[in-house]
Structure 1
Amino acid sequence: MRRHLPPLNALKAFDAAARHLSVTTAADELCVTQGAVSKQIRQLESALGVGLFERKPNGISLTEAGAQYLPFVSAALDSLDSATEQLQGGKRQRERLLLSVTPSFTSSWLISRIHAFEQQHPHLQVDLITGDGKPNFSGTEVDLAIRCLRPERAGQ
């Protein structure tokens, strides 16, 4: 049996935008641009031949068709998510985010917030490298360096 399904990315964009009633928040969740979310939604609406959102000056809202479609899309995505986790033995591969930070920043601000960040972004595992001075990105796998310097020392 051949299935006639819309593209998965379009369904994910619809689901996120519908849950948040915001293209901006959906884009942040999906780590794409607002334009990409809008394009996916337009493609989905075109493929389905029905409008899913009402565009208003102050945001978006679901049409009746969108409100009827959302629970089915959400359930299907949840089912795929659960099946994938089960297939992987409950051990999802997490992407590594390697931060290079100063020891003082780590102890005074960052450590107390890492757990909450990882809860909000379960696909990420935050690892830290501490050190002072100018970060060196060549020859390392550091994704982001955070330094707190006085303006007169920033150029060194």
Structure 2
Amino acid sequence: MDRPNLPLNGLRAFEVAARQGSFTRAAIELRVTQAAVSQQIQRLEDLLGHRLFTRASSGLILTDIGAALHPVLTRNFDEMGEVLDRFQGGRYRETLNLGVVTTFATGWLIPRLEVFKVAQPGISLRIFTHNNRIDIAKEGLHMAIRFGDRTAWPWLEAAPLIAAPLTPLCAPDLLPHLQAPQDLLGQRLLRSYRVDEWAGWFAAAGAECPPLEGPVLDSSVASAELAAAGHGVALLPAAMFARQLQAGTLARPFATEVAAGRYWLTWLRGKPLTLAMAQVRSWLMEGAGAGEPPE
């Protein structure tokens, strides 16, 4: 098909709908009506003579033609957007959208952003926090920092950042009551969605894990806030809460730690690194290797 005849509006509507898996979510991203998205895709299908989607109760399903077309469009729209971003404002500048698990953002990255701006003035770093469950492609990110085991994301490239073993943290006035691991049996133990963390810590401490009935939270930051307020004991990466421990808003009753994973910088496998992606990776890995505490 000749370039002047490319149905750009229809291709853009299709790419967003395929990525979002929904005409409704595509309309929100494109800031148009759902009917407009549907009409653009219908025109594209008429032009091609092929269906691009089938509808199912779970959402939109790509046909073989749609599945062949979608990655090509995503890659090219991303590349066009990245180039245009670099030249906005009359000077070269590259924007990088970075998803960051909230604990790492507050405990390590955000205190260092001013240092990053000085070191990399040509990169506009946009931070989007998440709770460790994120889809880089669907959420328009270039890279994402996650916590866990490398094997959990076999479809992604990953660079190791910081190991963050877990240990109980609590309010300082609770310290006198926690002289041995068994003393935790009388406390409310705050839990994360990773169900085996407390069992692993008690095993490392040589004690039996009690039945767990405390609240389940999907944010270590929320767990830390509850613990600091005296509402329970949280199992947290002490390295990410160094400022709170130094300030005395949190306390660490035991030295025992349990490995539950580490923080990783991830990006889509097969996607070439832009200059900004490569520089951010180098900066993060250098800083993580230095092991500096947050200021």
TM-score normalised by structure 2 residue count: 0.29
Residues 32-111 of structure 1 aligned to structure 2 (within 5 Å): 32-56=32-56, 59-88=59-88, 89-90=92-93
Identity among equivalent pairs (%): 41
Per the alignment, in what secondary structure is the counterpart of residue 54 of structure 2?
strand
Between the aligned partners of 2:73 and 2:23, the Cα distance in structure 1 is 17
Between the aligned partners of 1:73 and 1:24, the Cα distance in structure 2 is 20
Could you tell me whether the CA contact under 8 Å between 1:20 and 1:26 is conserved in 2?
Answer: yes
Larger-Rg structure = 2
Give 1:47 deviation, angstroms.
1.5
Give 1:83 deviation, angstroms.
1.8
Per the alignment, in what secondary structure is the counterpart of residue 61 of structure 2?
strand
Q: Which has the higher contact order (CA 8 A, sep 6+)?
A: 2
Figure out how many residues of one structure are paired with residues of the other and give that number: 96
Between the aligned partners of 1:86 and 1:7, the Cα distance in structure 2 is 26
Gaps of 5+ in 2: 96-126, 129-138, 141-295
Aligned-residue Cα RMSD (Å) equals 2.6
For residue 53 of structure 1, what is the amino acid of its counterpart?
F
**Structure with greater proportional helix content:** 1
Between the aligned partners of 1:5 and 1:59, the Cα distance in structure 2 is 30
Deviations 1:104-138 (A, max 9, x none): xxxxxxxxxxx96xxx89xxxxxxxxxxxxxxxxx
**Structure with greater proportional strand content:** 2
- Is the counterpart of residue 17 in structure 1 residue 20 in structure 2? no
TM-score normalised by structure 1 residue count: 0.53
Per the alignment, in what secondary structure is the counterpart of residue 3 of structure 2?
coil
Gaps of 5+ in 1: 93-114, 122-156
Give 1:5 deviation, angstroms.
4.5
Deviations 1:36-70 (A, max 9, x none): 00001101111222111013355321101101100
